[in-house]
């Protein structure tokens, strides 16, 4: 594997969006399907153009295999939609993207922690984050963009 992770440029936003859709397809059959499946490429582009979010892209050679969205807050980096294509899973790509985000945070000295929100029912995802040093610090029930209540955990890693 020849992994490269970097901030996605604007012409890669369609690729970032497709990576997310491919990765989140498995959540379509949940009782409350992931709202990621309804997010449009235009919404992502608007978030990036407005400066409210950034996206990272992960390539194996020239093949896109992962992506995530993130934003810098006052003292934290919040990431969401961490996505690895189904055929690329089990190779440490999600961990590499998390390490990239952590390094990005360290390069912004005001960032003291990493934060994400995960569905409480996705034990595999929670386990991944715990293995990377995250802890569950809050449990919440939130209304997703589709209008459904979803039980979530908020996880953080102190840097």
Residue-wise pLDDT for 86-103, tens only, equals: 999 999 999 999 999 999
pTM for this entry: 0.93
6-42 pLDDT, tens digit each: 999 999 999 999 999 999 988 887 777 677 777 888 9
Classify 28 as helix, strand or coil: coil
- Burial (CB count <10 Å: 0-12, 13-18, 19+), residue 73: exposed
> How far apart (Å, rounded) are the C-alpha atoms in residues 124 and 102?
21
pLDDT value at residue 109: 81
C-alpha dihedral, 132 to 91 to 67 to 31, nearest 10°: -80
Task: Say yes or no: domain 3-158 is CATH 3.50.50.60.
Answer: no
Among the listed residues 43, 53, 44, 41, the one whose alpha carbon sits nearest the alpha carbon of residue 77 = 53
Residues 150, 152, 153: CA angle, nearest 5 degrees: 175
């Amino acid at each position: 594997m020849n992994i490269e992770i970097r901030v996605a440029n604007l012409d890669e936003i369609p690729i970032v969006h497709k990576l997310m859709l491919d990765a989140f397809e498995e959540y379509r059959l949940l009782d409350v399907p992931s709202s990621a499946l309804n997010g449009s490429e235009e919404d992502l582009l608007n978030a990036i153009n407005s400066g409210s979010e950034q996206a990272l892209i992960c390539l194996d050679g020239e093949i896109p295999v992962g992506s995530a969205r993130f934003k810098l807050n006052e003292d934290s980096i919040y990431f969401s939609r961490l996505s690895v294509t189904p055929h690329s899973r089990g190779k440490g790509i999600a961990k590499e993207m998390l390490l990239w985000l952590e390094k990005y945070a360290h390069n912004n000295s005001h960032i003291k922690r990493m934060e994400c929100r995960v569905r409480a029912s996705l034990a595999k995802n929670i386990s991944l984050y715990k293995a990377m040093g995250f802890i569950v610090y809050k449990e919440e029930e939130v209304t997703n963009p589709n209008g459904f209540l979803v039980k979530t955990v908020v996880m953080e890693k102190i840097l």
